[in-house]
Amino acid sequence: MDYHYPVGCGPMELARAYVCPQPAYTQRFCPVEGLKHGTIFPELVRVYVPEQARPVCPGEVG
């Protein structure tokens, strides 16, 4: 499959996904809390911190 890289970024890895081993199931949020957090597993909750600017790609112009 051909990938089309953004201009100026050159051939670089587009993305990589990791699946971390999930700890054994011992506890979960109540349904409403799980819905709010986007997961029923407390150990998977991460606070989302919006970034004002994205990191610059290596070799990116401008």
Partner 1 sequence: MMPAMNKDELMLRIQALEFTAVDLNLYLDTHPCDARALADFNQVAAALAQAVAVYEQMCGPLTNFGRSQSCGRWAWVEQPWPWETQG
| Contacting positions for partner 1 (CB under 8 A) | 22, 24-25, 28, 30-32, 34-35, 39-41
Residue 5 vs 28, nearer CB to partner 1: 28
CB nearer to partner 1: pick between 20 and 47: 20
Q: Which of 20, 26, 21, 44 is nearest to 34 (CA)?
A: 44
Least Cβ distance, residue 45 to partner 1 (angstroms): 12
| Shortest Å distance, C-beta 46 to partner 1 | 15
Residue of 14, 58, 23 lying closest to 41 (CA atoms): 23
